[in-house]
């Protein structure tokens, strides 16, 4: 439509208003002052914009459109207007629903980000059960697992990045801001899910707190850091206290260490001594010149100086006493360590003697145990030989039984055949006889075959027997060899 009426795009910059005006005008030739009230409605009661459209249509440089093209453009414009109206309805529904379900969370974050958090968690109760650390990273799970695999820095924020607070914060403060916001979100969710009649009062207060935190991070935090860096940078090497180190962001972060008491006392004593020496030098100069004290204040100062001197002497004496006490404690510790070492040496010597005695006793016990084991082994050998004999006898009996059984089976088969032949008719008998003759002929042919096959079978049987005999000899030799070895050891 820009080719047909190019001036309209520069006048109506909003897409929705552009589509509404397009549906009203359709063709730029139809524009006239009669349509002015309708144009004002389409442009949200903007009379100046409506006038500009009418004047631009008169001086337009666009080309004419065909009816088919114009119809397609109008259909598309209608769809855009319908979708925008539907979007507004959805927005109103979402606002009403979120204010009723989670009023504190909506007051803190806004309905859009709050709804996204609830939908991502699954429900308000599951979001309330989650800790602040998980709420902070909700929506950035993929980045989290990627960082854990690569062992790099984990993400600082997920869906919370869309909130206005984090968008307003500086790049270096976004991580701190997201942590603070996640904590407040966790509290708001729990109030909404577990209170019987939730109100937006807590959410509004937390919203103000987050805004204050944002302002503090922008202004106060930077001022504090600059002041701290100056104060710690100017500190001398003798002063014990706070060490300055430079962080990742290039800012100086104070690693506040607790100042040591002795070093602080020493600094005080040194200051007092320097003051005393300065005052004493002034007094000596006056006395040399013959100048007396002008007033009572100078006399009081001299008395105070003497008192301070006495205090310093007492403190020095106390320090010496403490040093002596420490030396005594160190000596006692050394003596205790030496005593413990001597006791360990004595215990080790006693342990060695007892081990030697135990070793002698163990040797005697081992000899007795060996004798008993040898007796048992002899008995076991005898019992094994007897068992083998019994097994051989049982095998022979089994072979005899199997031979008898085979003979009985053959006899039974013959009897059965004879009974069958008696039952058969003459014709059947003749057919059976013919079959028997054929079988006999085959057997004869097989018998007439070369005797090499029989010789091969006999050779195989002989080989098997030889192998058995060799295996039996080896077993016997091994049993005898083990007995001889044991006898030698004994």
Can you give the chain as a three-state secondary structure string? CCCCCCHHHHHCCCHHHHHHHHHHHCCHHHCCHHHHHHHHHHCCCCHHHHHHHHHHHHCCCCCCCCHHHHHHHHHHHHHHHHHHHHHHHHHHHHHHHHHHHCHHHHHHHCHHHHHHHHHHHCCHHHHHHCCHHHHHHCCCHHHHHHHHHHCCCCCCCCHHHHCHHHHHCCHHHHHHHHHHHHHHHHHHHHHHHHCCCCCCHHHHHHHHHHHHHHHHHHCHHHHHHHHHHHHHHCCCCCCCCCEEEECCCCCEEEECCCCCHHHHHHHHHHHHHHHHHHHHHHHHHHHHHCCCCCCHHHHHHHHHHHHHHHHHHHHHHHHHHHHHHHHHHHHHHHHHHHHHHHHHHHHHHHHHHHHHHHHHHHHHHHHHHHHHHHHHHHHHHHHHHHHHHHHHHHHHHHHHHHHHHHHHHHHHHHHHHHHHHHHCCHHHHHHHHHHHHHHHHHHHHHHHCCCHHHHHHHHHHHHHHHHHHHHHHHHHHHHHHHHHHHHHHC
pLDDT band, residue 53 (cuts 50/70/90): confident
Rounded Cα–Cα distance for residues 316 and 235 (Å): 27
- Is the pLDDT score of 123 beyond 80? yes
Residues 170 and 58 in one domain: no
Mean pLDDT rounded to a whole number for the chain: 77
pLDDT score for 479: 73
Co-location of 171 and 72 in the same domain: no
Residues 208 and 135 in one domain: yes
147 lies in the same domain as 81: no
pLDDT score for 391: 75
Q: Say what the pTM is.
A: 0.42
Question: Can you give the pLDDT at residue 124?
Answer: 92
Q: Residue 91's pLDDT is what?
A: 92
Do 109 and 196 share a domain, yes or no? Answer: yes
pLDDT at 359 over 80: no
Given a cut of 80, whether residue 186 has pLDDT beyond it is: yes
The verdict on 144 and 71 lying in the same domain is: no
In a domain, 151, yes or no: yes
Q: Is 297 among the domain residues?
A: no
In a domain, 332, yes or no: no
CA distance 202 to 198: 9
Of 297-301, 349-353, 450-454, 486-490, the least confident: 450-454
**232 belongs to a structural domain:** no
Helix ranges restricted to H, 59-140: 67-101, 103-109, 111-121, 124-129, 132-137
Confidence of residue 250 (pLDDT cuts 50, 70, 90): very low
Per-residue model confidence (pLDDT) at position 92 = 93
Position 447 in a domain = no
Statement to judge: residues 13 and 52 lie in one domain: yes
Summarised one tens digit per residue, pLDDT across range 424-447 is: 555 555 665 676 677 777 767 666
What confidence tier does 219 reach under pLDDT thresholds 50, 70, 90? Answer: confident
Q: What is the mean pLDDT of residues 215-240?
A: 58
Structure tokens at 152: 């790099």
- Residue 232 in this model has a pLDDT that exceeds 90: no
What is the average pLDDT across 313-323?
76
Q: How many domains does the chain have?
A: 2
Claim to verify: residue 23 and residue 107 sit in the same structural domain: no
| Residue where one domain finishes, among candidates 25, 60, 89 | 89
What CATH number corresponds to the domain at position 212? 1.10.246.90
Domain that holds residue 118: 102-223
Q: Which of 89, 124, 144 represents a domain boundary (last residue)?
A: 89
Residue 109 pLDDT class (50, 70, 90 cuts): very high
Residues 84 and 180 in one domain: no
Residues above pLDDT 70, as percent of the chain: 73
For the segment 80-107, the average pLDDT, to the nearest whole number, is 92
CA–CA separation, 230 and 289 (whole Å): 46
| pLDDT tens-digit series, residues 198-210 | 888 888 889 999 9
Task: Let me know whether 106 and 159 are in one domain.
Answer: yes
Same domain, 124 and 31: no
Q: Is residue 19 part of a domain?
A: yes
Q: What is the pLDDT of residue 106?
A: 92
Tell which of 223, 245, 263 closes a domain.
223
**pLDDT tens profile 269-313:** 655 666 666 666 777 766 666 655 545 556 666 677 777 777 777
As a whole number, mean pLDDT of residues 22-31 equals 87
Whether residue 204 lies inside any domain: the answer is yes
Q: Among positive and negative, which fits the CA dihedral 95, 101, 103, 107?
A: negative
Does residue 237 form part of some domain?
no
* pLDDT greater than 70 at residue 414: yes
Residues 116 and 179 both lie in one domain: yes
pLDDT at 246 over 60: no
């Amino acid at each position: 439509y820009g080719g047909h009426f190019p001036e309209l795009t520069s006048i109506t910059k909003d897409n929705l208003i552009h589509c509404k005006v397009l549906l009203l005008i359709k063709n730029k030739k139809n524009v006239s002052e009669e349509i002015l009230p309708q144009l004002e409605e389409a442009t949200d009661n903007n009379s100046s914009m409506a006038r500009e459209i009418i004047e631009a249509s008169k001086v337009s440089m666009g080309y004419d459109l065909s009816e088919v093209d114009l119809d397609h453009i109008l259909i598309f414009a209608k769809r855009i207007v319908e979708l925008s109206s539907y979007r507004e309805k959805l927005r109103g529904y979402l606002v009403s629903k979120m204010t009723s379900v989670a009023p504190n969370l909506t007051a803190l974050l806004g309905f859009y980000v709050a709804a996204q958090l609830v939908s991502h968690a699954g429900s308000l109760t599951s979001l309330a059960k989650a800790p602040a650390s998980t709420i902070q990273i909700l929506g950035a799970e993929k980045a989290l697992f990627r960082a854990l695999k690569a062992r790099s820095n984990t993400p600082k924020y997920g869906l919370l990045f869309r909130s206005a607070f984090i968008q307003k914060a500086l790049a270096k403060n976004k991580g701190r801001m997201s942590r603070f916001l996640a904590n407040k979100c966790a509290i708001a969710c729990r109030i909404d899910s577990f209170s019987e009649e939730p109100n937006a009062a807590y959410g509004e207060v937390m919203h103000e707190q987050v805004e204050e935190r944002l302002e503090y991070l922008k202004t106060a935090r930077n001022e504090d850091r600059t002041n701290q860096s100056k104060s710690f940078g100017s500190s001398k090497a003798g002063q014990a206290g706070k060490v300055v180190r430079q962080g990742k962001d290039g800012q100086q972060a104070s690693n506040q260490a607790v100042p040591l008491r002795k070093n602080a006392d020493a600094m005080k004593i040194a200051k007092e001594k320097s003051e005393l020496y300065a005052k004493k030098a002034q007094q000596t100069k006056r006395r040399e010149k013959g100048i007396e004290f002008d007033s009572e204040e100078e006399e009081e100062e001299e008395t105070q100086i003497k008192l301070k001197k006495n205090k310093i002497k007492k403190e020095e004496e106390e320090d010496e006493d403490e040093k002596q006490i420490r030396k005594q404690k160190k000596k006692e510790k050394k003596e205790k360590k030496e005593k413990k070492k001597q006791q360990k040496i004595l215990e080790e010597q006693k342990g060695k003697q007892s081990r030697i005695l135990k070793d002698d006793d163990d040797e005697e016990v081992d000899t007795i145990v060996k004798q008993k084991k040898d007796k048992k082994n002899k008995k076991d050998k005898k019992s094994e030989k007897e068992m083998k004999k019994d097994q051989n006898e049982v095998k022979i009996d089994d072979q005899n039984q199997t031979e008898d059984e085979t003979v009985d089976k053959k006899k039974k088969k013959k009897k059965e055949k004879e009974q069958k032949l008696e039952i058969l008719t003459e014709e059947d008998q003749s057919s059976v006889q013919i079959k028997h003759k054929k079988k006999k002929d085959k057997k004869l042919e097989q018998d007439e075959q070369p005797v090499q096959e029989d010789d091969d079978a006999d050779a195989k049987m002989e080989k098997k027997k030889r192998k058995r005999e060799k295996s039996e000899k080896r077993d016997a030799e091994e049993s005898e060899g083990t007995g001889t070895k044991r006898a030698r050891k004994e």
